Structure 1
Amino acid sequence: MPTDAKDFGAQPDASGTADLAARSNDRLEAGTRCGRYVVVFDVEGRRHALSAGSVSAICDDESGGCILLIGGGRMVRLDEPMEVLLRWFT
């Protein structure tokens, strides 16, 4: 797994949003930064694109991973340690 967030490289179009459709052949990996979002994979393999502002808290869990608390009281459990997530979101 990567330890630092990577820039996905999508350039903003005239509306100010990134044109990801043009890069549809690229697979986003965990830790990839795409605009204001960082892509993460939960322990069940689902992808989540989260902005730093949507994460209320990052908590350690017993297995060495961490839990993200996001809007609506939802939790996302990840295999990455807290230190990795803190680097991705800064």
Structure 2
Amino acid sequence: MRSSGFEQPHFLDSCFLCQRQLSQNKDIYMYRGDTPFCSQECRQEQIEMDEVSEKRWRHSLKKSNNLRQSKDSTQESETKKAVRRGTVAVA
């Protein structure tokens, strides 16, 4: 097998956020198991960004569910109205 001369960097080579080289002589701060950071500050910034993203995602999911429920309710109401509009003859 031939080598292309390009090696994939190891995931512990640089900080996930700021891309600074991680030193073997300094602490590496991990997040979510496999995401390395050069400092507690970089890790905290990523945590905060993830929390904002998750809140936005939950909000959009909730909004989507509310719209779907509203649409389902409107369709159900229209179906009921159509049934109620009919003429009933009693003998």
Q: Name the TM tier (shorter chain).
A: under 0.3
TM value normalised by structure 1: 0.23
Larger radius of gyration: 2
Normalized per residue, the structure richer in strand is 1
The TM-score, its normalising length taken from structure 2, stands at 0.23
Q: RCO higher in 1 or 2 (8 Å CA, sep ≥ 6)?
A: 1
